[in-house]
């Protein structure tokens, strides 16, 4: 028995091989389009989900930002329990028309305030009454004040120049008017102004 059938399908076939061919032939490749089973449902593409997610994220950020801006900061004030601190606060709340403190009182008060401030970290919301503000002028503000000073100096010079210019203009106009009055019956300038 030769194996030509297995090689090129010539010669005498073996019945067992033919049977195997029949069984396996059911599974051979056939070029046809895919047919989905009837049970499988084709749904809409779920493109809405990313949109909702983005909208939710934006809304969350907005609400969070609003809370951050609107809610008052927690005021962890200086411990006012101690007598010295209380004294400092009472003094800071004293009316403006109270008697002017002496130099010693001011020094003592500032020491008390400094002690009170040292008990807390700087950024922990120091009591506003005790807060010593270092009035620092930003470079922009400083530039603004410098500009004002320059403007003032410039305006002063310009004012003098303006007066000089008006003086010259007035003198020449006045002279022209007087000369015209001497040679003409009326002032041309005045007449023109009335017409205009």
Residues at the interface with another protein (CB under 8 A): 151-152, 154-156, 158-159, 161-180, 183, 188-190, 192-193, 196
Q: Which of 72, 73, 108 is nearest to 87 (CA)?
A: 108
Minimum CB separation of residue 185 from another protein in Å reads 14
Q: Which is nearer to another protein, 15 or 186 (CB)?
A: 186
Q: Which is nearer to another protein, 94 or 163 (CB)?
A: 163
Contact 116, 130 (CB under 8 A): yes
Q: Which is nearer to another protein, 90 or 154 (CB)?
A: 154
Minimum CB separation of residue 181 from another protein in Å reads 10
Separation CA 75–CA 128 (nearest Å): 9
Q: Which is nearer to another protein, 128 or 179 (CB)?
A: 179
Q: Which is nearer to another protein, 57 or 163 (CB)?
A: 163
Minimum CB separation of residue 188 from another protein in Å reads 5
Minimum CB separation of residue 83 from another protein in Å reads 54
Q: Which of 72, 91, 82 is nearest to 118 (CA)?
A: 82
Minimum CB separation of residue 143 from another protein in Å reads 17
Minimum CB separation of residue 146 from another protein in Å reads 15
Separation CA 123–CA 107 (nearest Å): 24
* DSSP states along 66-119: HHHHHSPPP-------SHHHHHHHHHHTS-TTSPPPPHHHHHHHHHHHHHHHHT
- H helix intervals, the chain: 4-8, 15-25, 48-70, 83-92, 103-118, 139-183, 188-195
Q: Which is nearer to another protein, 66 or 169 (CB)?
A: 169
Rounded to the nearest 5°, which phi and psi values hold at 171? -65, -45
């Amino acid at each position: 028995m030769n194996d030509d059938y297995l090689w090129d399908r010539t010669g005498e076939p073996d019945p067992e091989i033919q049977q195997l061919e029949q069984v396996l032939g059911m599974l051979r490749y056939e070029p046809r389009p895919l047919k989905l089973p009837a049970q499988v449902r084709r749904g809409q593409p779920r493109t809405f989900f990313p949109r909702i997610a983005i909208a939710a994220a934006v809304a969350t950020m907005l609400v969070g930002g609003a809370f951050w801006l609107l809610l008052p900061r927690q005021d962890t004030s200086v411990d006012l329990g101690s007598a010295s601190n209380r004294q400092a606060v009472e003094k800071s709340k004293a009316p403006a028309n109270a008697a002017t403190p002496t130099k010693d009182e001011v020094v003592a008060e500032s020491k008390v305030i400094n002690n009170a401030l040292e008990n807390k970290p700087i950024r922990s919301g120091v009591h506003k009454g005790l807060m010593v503000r270092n009035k620092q002028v930003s470079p922009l503000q400083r530039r603004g004040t410098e500009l004002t000073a320059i403007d003032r100096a410039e305006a002063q010079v310009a004012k003098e120049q303006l007066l000089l210019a008006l003086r010259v203009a007035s003198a020449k106009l006045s002279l022209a008017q007087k000369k015209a009055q001497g040679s003409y019956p009326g002032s041309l300038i005045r007449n023109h102004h009335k017409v205009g």
